[in-house]
């Protein structure tokens, strides 16, 4: 923190982008904090479908300063990525505060203020690194479909066991 309690940078989101930025800010001796809504670093990956794998080989999946710990030609699974992100934050001792979902963010003079559950953080810069698919988008017509049509959003999908039997072709 600066001498008035204001951070240089507040990062909202503790995934790949937020952690990589934190790594670079730490190298520059900046004061910063990473706020993540999940209880544990990497949980955004842990909560995806069981068979999820990244679509790039491990040799391209590392963040700055730490290669991905897998066969360079393998395609890591979701839990591998989650564990890597958690290990990355620990290795570089990044200041991640988990379980914080920002409720309000506003500008106050020459600084930004973020608030959550009665707590406040002030910073000269804010980076929103929450990703692009945080909230499911369900088309209006879905409510008009026959109740016999089983529906669930891809954010709820974990494995084929959730699907009902269909016709054999």
Residue 88: both structure tokens together: 């990355």
Strands 32-36 and 96-98: parallel
Domain boundaries, given as residue ranges, for the chain: 7-133
Could you say which of 3.40.50.2300, 3.50.50.60, 4.10.520.10, 3.60.15.10 is the CATH number of the domain covering 7-133?
3.50.50.60
Model pLDDT, residue 1: 53
Tell me the C-alpha distance between 101 and 129, whole Å.
13
Whether residue 2 has pLDDT greater than 70:
no
Banded model confidence at residue 167, pLDDT cuts 50, 70, 90: confident
Predicted local confidence at residue 156, as pLDDT: 78
pLDDT tens-place string over residues 44-94: 999 988 899 999 999 999 999 999 999 999 999 999 999 999 999 999 999
């Amino acid at each position: 923190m600066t001498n008035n309690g204001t951070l240089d940078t507040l990062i909202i989101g503790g995934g790949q982008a937020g952690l990589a930025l934190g790594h670079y800010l730490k190298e520059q001796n900046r004061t910063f904090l990473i706020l993540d809504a999940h209880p544990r670093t990497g949980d955004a990956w842990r909560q995806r479908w069981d068979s999820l794998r990244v679509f790039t080989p491990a040799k391209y999946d590392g963040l700055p300063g730490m290669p991905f710990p897998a066969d360079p030609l393998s395609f890591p699974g979701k839990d591998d990525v989650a564990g890597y992100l958690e290990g990355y934050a620990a290795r570089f001792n990044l200041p991640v505060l988990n379980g914080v979902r920002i409720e309000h963010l506003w500008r106050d003079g020459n600084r930004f203020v973020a608030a959550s559950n009665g707590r406040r953080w002030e910073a000269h810069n804010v980076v929103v690194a929450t990703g692009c698919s945080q909230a499911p988008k369900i088309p209006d017509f879905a409510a008009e479909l026959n109740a016999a049509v089983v529906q669930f959003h891809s954010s709820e999908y974990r494995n084929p066991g959730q699907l009902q039997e269909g016709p054999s072709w």
